[in-house]
Amino acid sequence: MNIIVTGGAGFIGSNFIYYMLNKYPDYRIICVDCLTYAGNLSTLKEALKNPKFRFCKVDIRDRKAIYNLFEEEHPDMVVNFAAESHVDRSIENPKVFLDTSINGTAVMMDACRKYGIKRYHQVSTDEVYGDLPLDRPDLFFTEETPLYTSSPYSSSKAGADLLVLSYHRTYGLPVTISRCSNNYGPYHFPEKLIPLMIANALADKPLPVYGKGENVRDWLYVEDHCNAIDLIIHNGRVGEVYNIGGHNEMKNIDIVKTICKELGKSEKLITYVTDRKGHDMRYAIDPTKIHNELGWLPKTKFTEGIKKTIQWYLDNREWWETIISGEYQKYYEKMYGNR
């Protein structure tokens, strides 16, 4: 089996590559990533030693390069993780989000149509469903929930999802889509809530909580997401959407307090800052379909996953300290300087 994994130098894609190389030693995994600010080749250092792994620095919008790669590799499957993934950046500059999610996804699927494929899998997000009110804990996103997006990021993801479903209906492309809740774990880029708070707390810097910190996210350990995608690409039904989530809803403020406690830092570091524009209140996934059809259940409890994650950041300081020492400083100053 030859699998192209796009966006594999990012957070979830890299975890998926390690998961697959470990679980299927006979598979060949080809990572396609153009190494944006979020892509990091050092993340794939161990994978690069594996003869079954190939890294290609290619932009998924580059039609010629993608077609050449398909001619060389004859992939059986494509798993498309490549996207701009940070909501705050999408509010500053939507264009690149649309370019990669819409045009990039189209190029990948056109290549699949031209050269043939057993499965094209689109990695999507729960954010395509918009948000839920805090006072209705009985409500969850199912696969039937209408798409109703809030940010340029989630709109770009929803646009890609619609395109994927249209390629199935119009051209019969064998697609699947997964919509997962917030992931956390190793190699999470330090602009996102959990790693940002870990890095700031370790440096005794303010912990910038947006608004009142009451927004709720449904956190899933990244390996559980990888396991779900593995089940979908092998056993999921073509043309179907699968929601993935761990029934682990937590308020942002409680996440930040947990991190303070685990690191032995004072909650006095917590600083309430101006809210995100259009900030979604609550995400909550109903994962009944993937459980009933594919037997998927999350394995890692949050209490255990957050400890493992914090330990990973303590053991791998070089990885994230290198990231936050460069260009990232300018981003941080722009986003948080006068907030």
- The answer to whether the CB of 122 falls within 8 A of the CB of 64 is no
Measure Cα distances from 229 to 180, 196, 286, 296, 327 in Å: 10, 26, 16, 10, 32
Count of chain residues binding ligand NAD (CB under 6 A): 30
Which of 18, 129, 153, 187 is catalytic? The answer is 153
Residues in 124-163 that interact with ligand TDX by CB under 6 A:
125, 127
> Rule CB under 6 A: is residue 192 a binding residue for ligand TDX?
yes
Binding residue for ligand TDX, selected from 61, 217, 225, 289, defined by CB under 6 A: 217
> Rule CB under 6 A: is residue 313 a binding residue for ligand NAD?
no
Which of ligand TDX, ligand NAD, none sits in contact with 4, Cβ below 5 to 8 A by type? none
Q: Report the residue count for the chain.
A: 339
* DSSP category for residue 2: E
Q: Binding string, 78-107, against ligand TDX, x = CB under 6 A?
A: -------xxx--------------------
Residues 225-241 as b/e (b if ≥16 CB within 10 A, e otherwise) read bbbbbbbbbeebeeebb
Which of 33, 59, 127, 224 is catalytic? The answer is 127
Is position 171 annotated as part of the catalytic site? no
Q: Which helix (H) or strand (E) holds 91?
A: helix 87-92
Q: Which of 234, 177, 193, 188 is nearest to 12 (CA)?
A: 188
Q: Which of 166, 168, 58, 151 is nearest to 98 (CA)?
A: 151
Shorter beta-carbon distance to ligand NAD: residue 33 or 131: 33
Instruction: Give me 49's structure tokens.
Output: 């030693």
Binding residue for ligand NAD, selected from 3, 18, 33, 201, defined by CB under 6 A: 33
Which of 33, 59, 84, 126 is catalytic? The answer is 126
Shorter beta-carbon distance to ligand TDX: residue 31 or 198: 198
Is position 126 annotated as part of the catalytic site? yes
- The answer to whether the CB of 149 falls within 8 A of the CB of 122 is no
Measure Cα distances from 101 to 44, 95, 166 in Å: 23, 10, 15
Is position 153 annotated as part of the catalytic site? yes
Instruction: Give me 283's structure tokens.
Output: 């995400």
Residues of this chain that bind ligand NAD (CB under 6 A): 6-7, 9-13, 33-36, 38-39, 59-61, 81-85, 100, 104, 123, 125, 157, 180, 182-183, 189
Catalytic positions are 126-127, 153
Binding site for ligand TDX (CB under 6 A): 85-87, 125, 127, 182, 192-193, 196, 208-210, 215, 217, 252, 276
